[in-house]
Amino acid sequence: MTEQRSEGFRDALQRRCQGGIKIVASQPADFVPDKGLSVMENILQAQKDIDAVYTHDDDMAEGVVSAIQNANREDEMFLTGAGGSKAAMDQIKKGGLYRATFLYNPSMSASAIRMARKIVRGEGFDDLTEPEVPSKITVPATTVTKENVDQVQELGF
Protein backbone atom coordinates (compact mmCIF):
# COMPACT_ATOMS: atom_id res chain seq x y z
CA MET A 1 0.00 0.00 0.00
CA THR A 2 2.83 2.41 0.82
CA GLU A 3 4.36 1.87 -2.61
CA GLN A 4 1.00 2.65 -4.24
CA ARG A 5 0.60 5.85 -2.20
CA SER A 6 4.12 6.92 -3.12
CA GLU A 7 3.58 6.14 -6.79
CA GLY A 8 0.23 7.96 -6.79
CA PHE A 9 1.80 10.97 -5.12
CA ARG A 10 4.66 11.12 -7.65
CA ASP A 11 2.27 10.63 -10.59
CA ALA A 12 -0.07 13.38 -9.34
CA LEU A 13 2.85 15.78 -8.86
CA GLN A 14 4.05 15.09 -12.39
CA ARG A 15 0.59 15.57 -13.91
CA ARG A 16 -0.16 18.71 -11.94
CA CYS A 17 3.25 20.36 -11.86
CA GLN A 18 4.80 18.93 -15.06
CA GLY A 19 8.22 18.49 -13.48
CA GLY A 20 8.14 21.83 -11.66
CA ILE A 21 8.54 20.16 -8.27
CA LYS A 22 11.60 18.10 -7.42
CA ILE A 23 11.43 15.39 -4.78
CA VAL A 24 14.75 15.73 -2.96
CA ALA A 25 14.29 12.79 -0.58
CA SER A 26 11.91 9.93 0.07
CA GLN A 27 12.32 7.41 2.87
CA PRO A 28 9.96 5.06 4.69
CA ALA A 29 9.26 5.78 8.36
CA ASP A 30 6.91 2.83 9.01
CA PHE A 31 3.95 5.00 10.07
CA VAL A 32 5.37 5.64 13.57
CA PRO A 33 6.43 8.94 15.20
CA ASP A 34 9.88 7.81 16.41
CA LYS A 35 10.92 6.61 12.97
CA GLY A 36 9.45 9.78 11.42
CA LEU A 37 11.70 11.79 13.75
CA SER A 38 14.89 9.90 12.92
CA VAL A 39 14.23 9.77 9.17
CA MET A 40 13.47 13.50 9.04
CA GLU A 41 16.57 14.34 11.11
CA ASN A 42 18.67 12.55 8.47
CA ILE A 43 16.85 14.26 5.60
CA LEU A 44 17.27 17.69 7.22
CA GLN A 45 21.02 17.10 7.60
CA ALA A 46 21.36 16.01 3.98
CA GLN A 47 19.07 18.62 2.39
CA LYS A 48 19.63 22.31 3.01
CA ASP A 49 16.72 23.43 0.81
CA ILE A 50 13.29 21.91 1.53
CA ASP A 51 10.08 23.75 0.69
CA ALA A 52 7.47 21.14 1.61
CA VAL A 53 7.12 17.75 3.28
CA TYR A 54 4.40 15.19 2.58
CA THR A 55 3.94 12.23 4.90
CA HIS A 56 1.76 9.18 4.35
CA ASP A 57 0.48 9.26 7.93
CA ASP A 58 -0.34 11.83 10.62
CA ASP A 59 1.20 9.73 13.42
CA MET A 60 4.47 9.51 11.52
CA ALA A 61 4.20 13.25 10.83
CA GLU A 62 4.31 13.96 14.57
CA GLY A 63 7.95 12.84 14.58
CA VAL A 64 8.66 14.70 11.35
CA VAL A 65 7.26 17.92 12.86
CA SER A 66 9.43 17.45 15.96
CA ALA A 67 12.56 16.98 13.85
CA ILE A 68 11.82 20.12 11.83
CA GLN A 69 11.11 22.13 14.99
CA ASN A 70 14.22 20.77 16.75
CA ALA A 71 16.29 21.93 13.78
CA ASN A 72 14.63 25.38 13.91
CA ARG A 73 13.61 25.05 10.26
CA GLU A 74 9.80 25.29 10.56
CA ASP A 75 9.79 28.72 8.87
CA GLU A 76 11.45 27.26 5.74
CA MET A 77 8.79 24.73 4.79
CA PHE A 78 5.27 23.45 5.27
CA LEU A 79 4.00 19.94 5.89
CA THR A 80 0.97 17.87 4.93
CA GLY A 81 -0.02 14.50 6.31
CA ALA A 82 -2.68 11.91 5.80
CA GLY A 83 -5.16 10.10 8.00
CA GLY A 84 -6.97 12.83 9.86
CA SER A 85 -5.67 12.55 13.41
CA LYS A 86 -6.94 14.96 16.04
CA ALA A 87 -3.32 15.90 16.82
CA ALA A 88 -2.74 16.87 13.18
CA MET A 89 -5.96 18.88 13.13
CA ASP A 90 -4.88 20.71 16.30
CA GLN A 91 -1.60 21.62 14.56
CA ILE A 92 -3.45 22.77 11.45
CA LYS A 93 -5.78 24.90 13.54
CA LYS A 94 -2.81 26.65 15.18
CA GLY A 95 -1.32 27.50 11.81
CA GLY A 96 2.32 27.34 10.92
CA LEU A 97 4.22 24.29 9.73
CA TYR A 98 1.36 21.74 9.50
CA ARG A 99 -0.96 23.00 6.74
CA ALA A 100 -3.17 20.08 5.73
CA THR A 101 -4.11 16.46 6.20
CA PHE A 102 -6.33 14.11 4.26
CA LEU A 103 -9.12 12.67 6.36
CA TYR A 104 -9.89 9.04 5.81
CA ASN A 105 -13.07 9.23 7.82
CA PRO A 106 -14.94 6.30 9.38
CA SER A 107 -17.71 6.42 6.80
CA MET A 108 -15.21 5.50 4.09
CA SER A 109 -14.54 2.16 5.80
CA ALA A 110 -18.24 1.52 6.35
CA SER A 111 -18.96 2.30 2.69
CA ALA A 112 -16.13 0.04 1.53
CA ILE A 113 -17.43 -2.86 3.64
CA ARG A 114 -20.97 -2.40 2.33
CA MET A 115 -19.73 -2.28 -1.26
CA ALA A 116 -17.54 -5.38 -0.73
CA ARG A 117 -20.54 -7.26 0.66
CA LYS A 118 -22.57 -6.37 -2.45
CA ILE A 119 -19.74 -7.51 -4.72
CA VAL A 120 -19.40 -10.85 -2.91
CA ARG A 121 -23.15 -11.42 -3.10
CA GLY A 122 -23.25 -10.44 -6.77
CA GLU A 123 -25.73 -7.67 -6.01
CA GLY A 124 -26.00 -4.35 -7.77
CA PHE A 125 -26.60 -0.95 -6.26
CA ASP A 126 -30.28 -0.06 -6.13
CA ASP A 127 -29.61 3.55 -7.14
CA LEU A 128 -27.54 2.69 -10.23
CA THR A 129 -28.88 1.88 -13.64
CA GLU A 130 -26.17 -0.75 -14.22
CA PRO A 131 -27.12 -4.23 -12.97
CA GLU A 132 -23.69 -4.93 -11.46
CA VAL A 133 -21.37 -3.15 -9.09
CA PRO A 134 -18.79 -1.00 -10.93
CA SER A 135 -15.30 -2.54 -10.99
CA LYS A 136 -13.75 0.58 -9.46
CA ILE A 137 -15.23 3.00 -6.97
CA THR A 138 -13.25 5.85 -5.46
CA VAL A 139 -14.39 7.12 -2.08
CA PRO A 140 -12.70 10.52 -1.76
CA ALA A 141 -10.76 11.63 1.28
CA THR A 142 -11.59 15.04 2.73
CA THR A 143 -8.79 17.61 2.53
CA VAL A 144 -8.50 19.31 5.91
CA THR A 145 -7.04 22.82 6.05
CA LYS A 146 -7.21 25.72 8.46
CA GLU A 147 -10.33 26.89 6.61
CA ASN A 148 -12.42 23.76 7.31
CA VAL A 149 -10.76 22.07 10.29
CA ASP A 150 -13.51 23.16 12.70
CA GLN A 151 -16.20 21.45 10.59
CA VAL A 152 -14.41 18.08 10.43
CA GLN A 153 -12.34 17.89 13.60
CA GLU A 154 -14.87 15.63 15.35
CA LEU A 155 -14.16 12.96 12.70
CA GLY A 156 -10.46 12.79 13.63
CA PHE A 157 -9.07 9.79 15.43
Domain boundaries, the chain: 2-105+141-155
Residue 141: pLDDT over 90: no
Q: Report the CATH fold assignment for 2-105+141-155.
A: Rossmann fold (3.40.50)
pLDDT tens readout for residues 17-26: 888 889 999 9
Q: Is the pTM of this model over 0.85?
A: no
Nearest Cα residue to 110 out of 81, 134, 139: 139
